A and B are shown apart, each in its own frame.
Chain A
């Protein structure tokens, strides 16, 4: 017992979980969120806690183990690298290979599955792998280093994923599939042939209707070739088996639990096995005669088991096996039945699109559908399976996601990963007054796993009468992105003109700074010029950050965090002479706090004279590009991260954006600059630079996603230019890049299409806009110091310009000033 002897009288339920994969994780998460007060011990045989297997392949393209790993809920003891070897049902104890035992009141088996390796001669040779765990991927990556070609045995979903991985590792890749076409469980022959066309176009070799006679070793004893039954030999140094899965039911078998004829631990609707103290969930369970290998049903099973453990009565009665995914760049989707009395088929082998709908014999009820090359109809139509068709079949085939105007029935499942229906979402919107997709995600979990239903969530919000946050405020019925376009296209230069022509009233603290930011992003003059001055928030108005006592902080730019001793001394002297509090910021620069408004020009005169310029810490703008010391000094560094960080910071300094922008450059994969927590982060590789986007610290931390790998410096800069400009054009007010990226329909793939493949034809425009920004940049503080009109505003009192605000006072703490706060006297009426 984990809490020691004094817990002997503890009557809390002792829950033991065997296996720590995604299903176990969902179980723990559900129990924790519902206030389970027992003790929980989890045994996982892998050397690491549960991680996201759906995203496993991304591990090979740069996603770290940490990113894939799920957080372990508080209060749960996870013992990794420990295998449970037997279950003593009579004494209710599990025994481990570490030689100890753990008593349980309730046991949950979440042992998952093992890849099926057909009994082919040579299957145990070095160079043969399965594709399931991070360790498997590490081994494959290692073997691929000395290999030229590889074969994947199995052309299903996972097999093609493995093939994509081998291709990504630079191998000449073959896929062998027993049945007549690829992905036989998801698509029919027509879809399979279109899919094959796509994949062969990528240079892979497909062998369908083919088996494996043997795997042959070379002189070094490692895999050298694979021989098909027809005698054809395929040279290969890496072989990956992906020919299906088998439930890991050996523990259950050994202790006499009921198992299915073809494997799987038999469970009832409550996920309970033939022993009332033992549950089984996920790929090891046989529920209603089926073993489920998709994340959605396994999550549901975990939630059902959690509910039963908490004395609930939830039931698992089968699951929607619909699938939508993108494999090797091809969209594949299947929903409902794969046959029907009637069908409507569209096939375009040239364009690589195949769509087929199955309907009832009276052509009124939708039974299912298959899409390859364009999964557009999936989102719209999947909820209608078993229901009257919402339009003519041919219209529906071509209705892209979100385009068809259809009302979903309440029981239509919108999010299959988390089993959330349209009705549940509507109730949440109405009861909780939700106004945006994030709110729906938070309340219902819909859209939080694969994200493919996010367009549907938006549609439901709109149809529920929610104006999806489009209107900026009462003065403008446009979104920020629309206002940006209006200002840009119409060449508008003032707020007055914009609100007179496109708004109502006189603006407010929401729309004025937004318009000020748009004008600044488009390079329409100094932010304190003319009318623009009145639009600015107090920070931008005084080019400093307001603090709680009404004083301001000063942050000079220190590009890349690199600074000379002379400049450090100047900062120290200025702080000393003006009595400011100093602190090192997280962005590798120095914050000087406690300056009164009328001191700001004098402080900046000294800083500008010493060669400093505005750090824009006060603006919704680029803040810093942080860096590690890089290859110049660091013995691990592979590239000059400081040089690049400085170049990027100087390029984007002063760029106004919907929210603040932070960036970093790391000189090697050790990532000391924490680039993946930034809006854009760059990590040096042997070949070039990896670019990550959409990271965030702050309130909702998020690791940045890998946008592109091994870029040259020129390509890197161009890609960041476009990323930033596209964000500035299209994001909502105060929407960080992380939330923006998550809200983009099509997500990272879409972003890549727009800024790397120019799918919208706007890249030249984005490039030109950034060029204008770079060439028009001037230091705001220098320009302010040179303009007496602007300087006149820096007074505490218009009727007493030299007088400091008498309400501001300081005391001393740790040898520095600290504000004295005046007790509040709120005038309550």
Chain B
């Protein structure tokens, strides 16, 4: 695996990060890709989401440790620090729409989760 290389990954490049079964339903995990941190989530219906791991309110790399849920049907994660809720789909903070997490493409190939973090 080359994921530990601190060199930037190329745009559009898919990086394998873990096996799909490494992810717990309704829970996140952090990945380190090219020196960047992303938070990836597997929701109850099997869908995957990837966002920035940095909590913009506290400055700590902790978004992957938030509680996953829904708000009005939209899948969400709440910051474990001060509980601001973000959309897993758009990254927008639902409690303060002027703030958003970056979102990254994520997919499963042959049981392996891949993200594209640039």
Taking Cβ atoms with an 8 Å cutoff, the residues of A that contact B are 474-475, 496, 505-509, 511-513, 531, 533-538, 541-542, 546, 548-550, 793, 796-800, 803, 805-808, 821-829
Contacts and interface: CB of A to CB of B under 8 A. Distances in A.
Given A546-B80, A797-B31, A800-B3, A534 B99 contact: no
A727 B107 CA distance: 46
B97 A799 contact: no
B83 interface: yes
B17 A798 contact: yes
Interface string B1-40: 1011000000000001110001111110111110101001
Contacts of A824: 56-57, 59
21 contacts: A475-B70, A505-B69, A506-B69, A506-B70, A508-B69, A508-B71, A509-B85, A512-B67, A512-B69, A534-B25, A534-B68, A536-B67, A550-B62, A797-B32, A803-B4, A805-B30, A805-B37, A807-B61, A822-B59, A827-B99, A827-B100
A546 B3 CA distance: 27
Contacts of A821: 59
B99 to A, nearest CB: 6
A337 to B, nearest CB: 54
B46 interface: no
Mostly, the A contact residues are: loop
A797 to B, nearest CB: 4
Contacts of B22: 798
Contacts of B1: 799
Contacts of A798: 17-18, 22-23, 29-31, 40
Contacts of A546: 62, 65, 80-81
Contacts of A507: 69-70
A507 to B, nearest CB: 5
A532 to B, nearest CB: 11
A512 B78 CA distance: 12
B98 interface: yes
Contact of A506 (B18, B44, B60, B81): B44
Given A800-B3, A800-B4, A548 B69 contact: no
Contacts of A805: 30, 37, 61
Contacts of B60: 548-550, 807
A799 B33 contact: yes
B116 interface: no
Given A506-B70, A533-B24, A829-B99, 11 more contacts: A506-B69, A508-B67, A509-B67, A537-B80, A538-B62, A793-B24, A798-B17, A799-B1, A800-B3, A826-B99, A829-B92
A796 B61 CA distance: 10
A538 B28 CA distance: 11
Of B31, B92, B101, B102, the most chain A CB neighbours within 10 A belong to: B31
A475 B76 CA distance: 13
Contacts of B29: 797-798
Given A534-B27, A798-B17, A826-B57, A803 B32 contact: yes
Nearest to B42: A534
Nearest to A541: B65
A548 B56 contact: no
Of B54, B100, B102, the most chain A CB neighbours within 10 A belong to: B54
A727 to B, nearest CB: 24
Contacts, number: 128
B87 interface: no
Contacts of A548: 58, 60, 81
Contacts of B4: 800, 803
A805 B63 CA distance: 13
Contacts of A511: 69
Of A512, A549, A550, A807, the most chain B CB neighbours within 10 A belong to: A550
Contacts of B23: 798
Nearest to B3: A799
A156 B1 CA distance: 88
Interface size class of B (residues with CB under 8 A): 35 or more
A796 B85 contact: no
Contact of A505 (B33, B70, B80): B70
Contacts of A825: 56
Contacts of B97: 829
Nearest to A821: B59
Contacts of A823: 59
A767 B66 CA distance: 36
Contacts of B92: 829
A826 B56 contact: yes
Nearest to A792: B22
A537 B25 CA distance: 15
B73 interface: yes
A474 B74 CA distance: 12
Given A826-B56, A827-B99, A509 B69 contact: yes
Nearest to B22: A798
A827 B56 contact: yes
Contact of A474 (B17, B67, B72, B81): B72
Contacts of B99: 826-829
A472 to B, nearest CB: 12
Contacts of B40: 798
B32 A509 contact: no
Contacts of A474: 71-72
Nearest to B23: A798
A72 to B, nearest CB: 37
A190 to B, nearest CB: 58
Nearest to B72: A474
Contacts of B35: 806
Nearest to A505: B70
A537 to B, nearest CB: 7
Contacts of B18: 798-799
A84 to B, nearest CB: 54
Contacts of B78: 508-509
Given A798-B30, A803-B32, A538 B24 contact: no
A744 B29 CA distance: 42
Nearest to A828: B98
Contacts of B30: 796-798, 805
A45 B40 CA distance: 70
Nearest to B92: A829
Nearest to B29: A798
Interface string B76-111: 101011010100000010000111111000000000
B87 to A, nearest CB: 13
Contact of B37 (A509, A535, A537, A807): A807
A531 B26 CA distance: 9
A505 B73 contact: yes
A822 B58 CA distance: 9
Contacts of A512: 67, 69
B77 to A, nearest CB: 8
Contacts of A549: 60
A803 B58 CA distance: 22
A511 B70 CA distance: 11
B104 to A, nearest CB: 14
Nearest to B76: A508
B61 A550 contact: yes
A550 B101 CA distance: 17
B39 to A, nearest CB: 10
A538 B70 contact: no
A542 B16 CA distance: 26
Contact of A509 (B16, B31, B83): B83
Contacts of B73: 505
B52 to A, nearest CB: 8
Nearest to A799: B17
B102 to A, nearest CB: 7
A808 B40 CA distance: 20
Contacts of A538: 62, 65-67, 80
A648 to B, nearest CB: 31
B86 to A, nearest CB: 11
Contacts of B33: 799
A619 B95 CA distance: 26
Contacts of B83: 509
A618 to B, nearest CB: 12
Contacts of A533: 24, 27
